[in-house]
Structure 1
Amino acid sequence: MSFPDPAKRRLGLAAAAAVMAVAVAGSAAAQSMVVRSTGPSAAKYPTGAKLKSTDRLTLVSGDKVVLMQAGKTRTLSGPGTFGANAPIQTSQSMSGTVTRMLAKGPTMRSRGGFSRGPGDVAPVEARAPNLWLLDYREAGTFCVADPATLMLWRPNMEGDTALEIATADKKATVALVDGANFRKWPTDTMPVQYGVDYRLSGGGLAAPVTVRFTAVDHTPDTPEESIDMLMTKGCSPQLNRLVDALSESEAG
């Protein structure tokens, strides 16, 4: 009776393991995640839901679902039935907009991500160019990457204005000067605290906004990791900002 060569047997096992690993990785990569869901079927396909490659989404009129897979997004609009794993025809690399959005340090360009000529009007829906900039128009929970370098951001840089920040027991005022749409959070007089409500008023706001901070253990490197983290921590304004950037990358 002959026995298989031990070296060949080990080689065969290694090859089988490699094939299995590729199959598992392919299966994981094929999984899609719902990153935005609006319309009548939103409860059926909630934000954060993970979809298998065999799943199908049935949408009615008014539905819009944004799926993310391997760092790319696909927008589905109802009515219709769609496969969760259809090919996504977008660039394999992140767009410049998404790269700036995920940068570790806020990219503080003089015009905050857009440029205008003399007499041009600022876009009403201008978006902060980085996840870690606090757009103080946006109420809700904000994930803070580094409390020491937290920056406030406004879309309109024309005119001097003052933003008042208040907690239950203290107040601080931040001056935003003409020509600038960035200003550092006043850490000396109003240190960043987690789980505390900050009421922001003035500064061009139509009505006061309440913001609450939560800590980030580490800043993610990829859109998938970022979206997972923002969903887990409930940082909806930043999540919406990132999904918008990804969707623009898809449209481009």
Structure 2
Amino acid sequence: MRSIDIRSPRFAALFLLAAAVATPVSAATLVVRSAGPSAGAYPPGKVLQPSAKLALKANDQVTLLDEHGTRTLRGPGSFSATATAAADTDTGNTALAALTSQRGDRRVRIGAVRGVEAETGRPPNIWIVDASRAGTVCVADASSANLWRPGADLPTKTIIASATGAAKATLDWSPGQSVQAWPSSLPITEGARYTLTTGTGAPVAITLTLSGKPESDVQAMASTLIAKGCTAQLDQLVETTAAATKASSGGE
């Protein structure tokens, strides 16, 4: 049997690779936003180990997400991937529970969570399809998907049509109603494309993708949204986490 020299460069490289693969996303730091000259070196979805250093140039801006919350680094400068201030875990979990829980998605099927919607202008749960935003939408559970519309004070209609125009459904909204079930006559399948027209607004084109059961931690959930290209949902997750981090640290 051929022996392995543990002092060889090849063994060292394999050891580092195995260590990186074995580290769960929740134990590391995740890049969720990046802009500027170094954006290519720190793309959204990049996992940074605790010992990593970020070398940022002028006009660079990188937002990191870890178990403590979020923080945004602005260049120029060299920065540690590890957050310096821990957020209040209970505060963060409370703020994110309704936003990310699949069960929360079902609870708002009939009515609206008016406080969250009024403050953010977004659905009360990231797994609800936003009728006002175009793009790719991650659906956690096709059998219990819901649709949200902004401006719930007035009655209106939303017409949902398949990309081919072969299938169509109309949803009637009552005053004060902002969430209701996705029509069962229109299948939610991987890559399904629909156009949503609410009232007199411009048509909104969406592509549905099945993300599966939500991950148990924010970093893994963000990784899924990044991999699937669900930008609006990622933005909502990051913004809510950032707000929770600021609140728990006593920020203004």
Interval of TM-score (by shorter of Structure 1 and Structure 2): 0.7 to 0.9
TM (normalized to structure 2)? 0.77
Among 206, 210, 218, the alignment partner of 1:223 is: 218
Q: CA deviation at 1:115?
A: 7.1
Aligned residue in 1 for 2:152: 157
Give 4+ residue runs of structure 1 displaced > 6 Å after superposition. Answer: none
Give yes or no for contact 1:102–1:221 (8 Å, CA) kept in 2.
Answer: no
SS at match of 1:44: coil
Aligned residue in 1 for 2:231: 236
Give yes or no for contact 1:101–1:131 (8 Å, CA) kept in 2.
Answer: yes
What CA distance in whole angstroms lies between the structure 2 residues aligned with 1:140 and 1:96?
Answer: 28
Among 192, 198, 202, the alignment partner of 1:196 is: 192
Aligned pair 1:126/2:121, yes or no? Answer: yes
Aligned residue in 1 for 2:87: 90
- With over 3 angstroms needed to count, the CA separation of the structure-2 counterparts of 1:113 and 1:221, relative to structure 1, is farther
Aligned residue in 2 for 1:114: 115
- With over 3 angstroms needed to count, the CA separation of the structure-2 counterparts of 1:171 and 1:30, relative to structure 1, is closer
Aligned pair 1:104/2:102, yes or no? Answer: yes
TM (normalized to structure 1)? 0.77
Aligned residue in 2 for 1:39: 36
Q: CA deviation at 1:57?
A: 2.0
Q: CA deviation at 1:71?
A: 5.3
Among 105, 115, 136, the alignment partner of 1:141 is: 136
| Structure 2: runs of 5 or more not aligned | 1-18, 248-252
Count of equivalent residues = 221
- With over 3 angstroms needed to count, the CA separation of the structure-2 counterparts of 1:62 and 1:110, relative to structure 1, is farther
- With over 3 angstroms needed to count, the CA separation of the structure-2 counterparts of 1:48 and 1:198, relative to structure 1, is same
Q: Deviations over 1:23-71 (max 9, x none)?
A: 99xx766631101113343222110111233322233444322112225
What CA distance in whole angstroms lies between the structure 2 residues aligned with 1:199 and 1:115?
Answer: 26
Q: CA deviation at 1:160?
A: 0.9
Give yes or no for contact 1:102–1:222 (8 Å, CA) kept in 2.
Answer: no
- With over 3 angstroms needed to count, the CA separation of the structure-2 counterparts of 1:224 and 1:113, relative to structure 1, is farther
What CA distance in whole angstroms lies between the structure 1 residues aligned with 2:31 and 2:115?
Answer: 29
Aligned residue in 1 for 2:245: 250
Letter of the 2:221 partner, please give it. Answer: S
What CA distance in whole angstroms lies between the structure 2 residues aligned with 1:42 and 1:111?
Answer: 38
Q: Using CA pairs below 8 Å that are at least 6 residues apart, which structure has the higher relative contact order?
A: 2
- With over 3 angstroms needed to count, the CA separation of the structure-2 counterparts of 1:86 and 1:170, relative to structure 1, is closer
Q: CA deviation at 1:235?
A: 1.9
Q: Deviations over 1:176-217 (max 9, x none)?
A: 121111121111x32223212101123463x22111112233
What CA distance in whole angstroms lies between the structure 2 residues aligned with 1:247 and 1:36?
Answer: 12
Aligned pair 1:66/2:63, yes or no? Answer: yes
- With over 3 angstroms needed to count, the CA separation of the structure-2 counterparts of 1:61 and 1:159, relative to structure 1, is farther
Between 228-237 and 102-111, the greater mean CA deviation after superposition = 102-111
RMSD: 2.7
SS at match of 1:114: helix
Q: CA deviation at 1:224?
A: 1.9
The answer to which structure has the higher helix fraction is 2
What CA distance in whole angstroms lies between the structure 2 residues aligned with 1:131 and 1:222?
Answer: 14
Q: Which of the two has higher C-alpha Rg?
A: 1
